[in-house]
Structure 1
Amino acid sequence: MASIACTPSVPSPGNATGLRERARGALLGLAVGDALGAPAENLKPSEIRARWGRITGYVTDKPAGTDDTEYAIFSGLLLARHGSALTPSHVEAAWHEWIADREEGPFRGAGFSERGTLENLRRGLAAPISAQHRHAWSDGLAMRAAPFGVFAAGRPAEAARLVAIDGSVSHDGEGIHGGQAVAAGVAAAMAGAPTYAVVASALAVVPDDSWTARSLRRAVAVAHRGERAVRSAVVIGGYPWTDLAPEAVALAFGAYATADGDFRDAVLTAVNMGRDADTTAAVAGALAGATQGVAAIPPTWAAAIGPARGSCLPAMAGHHVLEIADLLVPDEAASARNPPTGRAGAHGLPAAGSHRLHPGRN
């Protein structure tokens, strides 16, 4: 069994400016991947080809992030508020404050795992009982895990610890493992680790015999053969659910490895494999964005990403992923003005009460 204490060494994070560019790359990359992949969600590669040929850019007039982006913003705000002191009680309170006790948007809380969590919370159940529903294995935690890797740059084990706390309210088992793999991978990429070390960091924080680890190993082992080989190695033919964490996370890492960390190729590889394409492309985008920095994202793709619309989580409306990146990795000037505190962890993040941490305010 793997242990988060055995996470392989990764480079120390660079200077604050470089770290911030990687942070912006990770979270903007997530939102771009989400928007690119949304039209291909739940489709087969053959269906994608029949509609668009090969997707090489946005295929809708008004691309936007889905629940993946809005939940990542949610987790980023939560992490900025509490830092390394995050507890399950903090997460549960945030679910009530920002989601469960508010009027829901058209997405009605998003996927099956989120719906199950909200129903349990509204019945008065607390973590970890709130995560006992039929879809605790979903990729709903993996899709919002990147902010933890951004915050814990260069510390994959800490990223994995924190994302598991977040996930304790909504996920269990393979759902937690998927989130930990993504958070650890992003944390390694934030420190400039090469592709193989990013993958190794992800594998180090999940049990060796887990479905997530087995799928991830299969995906990266055939990554040099391209997206068709990755998809064949991971996807279980005929399985009805596409939001399965071991599958989605493995496809995302497979796309990232196929592209050797290149942002454009990683995201488009994930998109054109279909299945839960918004999530797989969002995760691949976060990994590659952290690896290459925000400058690697094609400007036309980046320009299409605006503030969250609140389609899934109305409380997140108006927040931009770049705002979240800046909260999690302040620049040198901001760090000098606001020295680190015990509450916010090592990055000197604003504590609760800052006006920038309240959803709905600009």
Structure 2
Amino acid sequence: MRLTRARGCLLGLAAGDALGRPAENLAPEEIARRWGRLTEIEPGQGGTDDTEYTIFAASLLCAHGAAMTSADVARAYREQIIPRIDGPMRGAGFSELGAVQALRRGLEPPLSGMWHQHGWSDGLAMRAAPYGIFAAGDPGEAARLVAVDGAVSNSGEGVYGGQAVAAAVAVAMTGAAPGEVAEAGIAAIPVDSWTARNLRAAVAADSVDELYRAVVVRHYPWTDLAPEAVALAFAGYLMGGGRVEESVVSAANLGRDADTTAAIAGALAGAGHGEAAVPERWVREIGPVTGRCLPAVAGRHVLDVATDLVAATGTTT
């Protein structure tokens, strides 16, 4: 059961990433104007850095397991990512670009996640799902492990966003109801944090307008604020009743950082329902990643990665 949930989680993430990609940075009104309701992955386009960084995070867990340290993560950046960067990292988020710059200057975590002043980015949240798979049923351990990774690239609310997602995935992997999954994410982070306040507001919102008023920072020029993106992702997941297609579509059509929010919603729903719940028409569009952002992961498929990740835990039950 763990294997099918793990494969569903990462397949749902990749599908959400691909579906939400063309809606990134758009408002719901503009999405409705262009597509009516966005429900289909653009053929042959695939996903973004969300999927590639998720594969990278899973590789860290496969290599180091629960003993992984922030120094291990920083070393992987230096050995696998930085030497293969030729010019700007296309598609990478602020926190990852900032971490690369910090590491190039010789900074170590946690300073590498603080120096660039984009620690609030949703870069950790987008790649947090593997930690929930690895620590299935143990949200506290999932939150601890993802923070080890996050110290390299994020700080503060950016780390809290990753912890909320990892903890929620860990509980979704048990087949828990969506409300229980969302509450596990909230419980994993400080109660007075911006992310926790936004997540509580997202759970309570009765409409998209109410949700936007509560969690969206409309005046800010970027859409990758972790407290906003994670709240929208949880909202999409709950709006879809925890079902894969409905959750991914709901999150993508909320706009903003739509590839990340739909990817997180897909990870939560896929973990809850397993590989067979991901629509076959979407599965056909998910192939090996191209490495357009991270050449180190080129050619890897999320289904193989999920299988490796479960094998690293030593159990498939």
Scaled to the shorter chain, the TM-score interval is over 0.9
Which of 73, 94, 99 is residue 81 of structure 2 equivalent to?
99
1:230 matched to 2:197? The reply is: no
1:69 matched to 2:69? The reply is: no
* DSSP 3-state at the match of 1:63: coil
Q: Which moved more, 1:171-180 or 1:258-267?
A: 258-267
Would the alpha carbon gap of residues 327 and 105 (structure 1) be closer, same or farther in structure 2, given more than 3 Å must change? farther
Query: Is 2:48–2:91's contact at 8 Å kept on the other side of the alignment?
Result: no
* DSSP 3-state at the match of 2:121: coil
Which of 131, 153, 161 is residue 113 of structure 2 equivalent to?
131
Q: Which moved more, 1:231-240 or 1:118-127?
A: 231-240
Q: CA deviation at 1:105?
A: 7.5
Deviations along 1:307-343, whole A, 9 cap, x unmatched?
010010011101111111101113xxxxxxxxxxxxx
Separation of aligned partners in 2, 1:316 and 1:89: 20
Deviations along 1:126-160, whole A, 9 cap, x unmatched?
11111121211000000000000011100100000
1:300 matched to 2:267? The reply is: no
Select the structure that is richer in helix: 2
Which of 170, 173, 185 is residue 187 of structure 1 equivalent to?
170
Which of 38, 54, 74 is residue 37 of structure 2 equivalent to?
54
Separation of aligned partners in 2, 1:24 and 1:144: 15
| Partner amino acid, structure 1, of 2:17 | D
Which of 236, 243, 265 is residue 262 of structure 1 equivalent to?
243
In structure 2, what is the equivalent of residue 215 of structure 1?
198
Q: CA deviation at 1:228?
A: 4.1
* DSSP 3-state at the match of 1:101: helix
Q: How does 1:317-332 map to 2 (within 5 A)?
A: 317-330=298-311
Separation of aligned partners in 2, 1:231 and 1:265: 19
Query: Rg bigger for which structure?
Result: 1
Q: CA deviation at 1:230?
A: 2.6
In structure 1, what is the equivalent of residue 136 of structure 2?
153
Separation of aligned partners in 1, 2:245 and 2:210: 19
Separation of aligned partners in 2, 1:228 and 1:266: 18
Deviations along 1:67-113, whole A, 9 cap, x unmatched?
00000000000111111010011101111111112234874471111
Residue correspondences, number: 315
| Partner amino acid, structure 2, of 1:165 | V
Separation of aligned partners in 1, 2:131 and 2:265: 15
Separation of aligned partners in 2, 1:232 and 1:114: 29
Q: CA deviation at 1:348?
A: 6.2
Which of 181, 184, 208 is residue 198 of structure 1 equivalent to?
181
| Partner amino acid, structure 1, of 2:222 | W
Query: Is 1:228–1:273's contact at 8 Å kept on the other side of the alignment?
Result: no
In structure 1, what is the equivalent of residue 8 of structure 2?
25
Separation of aligned partners in 2, 1:41 and 1:243: 10
* DSSP 3-state at the match of 2:147: helix
Question: Sequence identity of aligned pairs in percent?
Answer: 59
Separation of aligned partners in 1, 2:130 and 2:227: 20
Separation of aligned partners in 2, 1:31 and 1:105: 26
Q: CA deviation at 1:227?
A: 3.8
Deviations along 1:192-228, whole A, 9 cap, x unmatched?
1111111111111100000000000000112xx3444
Q: CA deviation at 1:237?
A: 2.4
Separation of aligned partners in 2, 1:232 and 1:260: 22
Which of 14, 22, 27 is residue 44 of structure 1 equivalent to?
27
Query: Is 1:40–1:272's contact at 8 Å kept on the other side of the alignment?
Result: yes
Gaps of 5+ in 2: none
Q: CA deviation at 1:347?
A: 2.4
Gaps of 5+ in 1: 1-17, 331-343, 350-362
Give RMSD over aligned pairs. Answer: 1.5
- What TM-score comes out, normalization by structure 2 length? 0.96
Q: CA deviation at 1:245?
A: 0.2
Query: Is 1:104–1:313's contact at 8 Å kept on the other side of the alignment?
Result: no
* DSSP 3-state at the match of 1:201: helix
| Partner amino acid, structure 2, of 1:151 | F
In structure 2, what is the equivalent of residue 118 of structure 1?
100
Separation of aligned partners in 2, 1:226 and 1:56: 20
* DSSP 3-state at the match of 1:94: helix
In structure 2, what is the equivalent of residue 335 of structure 1?
none
Separation of aligned partners in 2, 1:202 and 1:176: 13
In structure 2, what is the equivalent of residue 285 of structure 1?
266
- What TM-score comes out, normalization by structure 1 length? 0.84
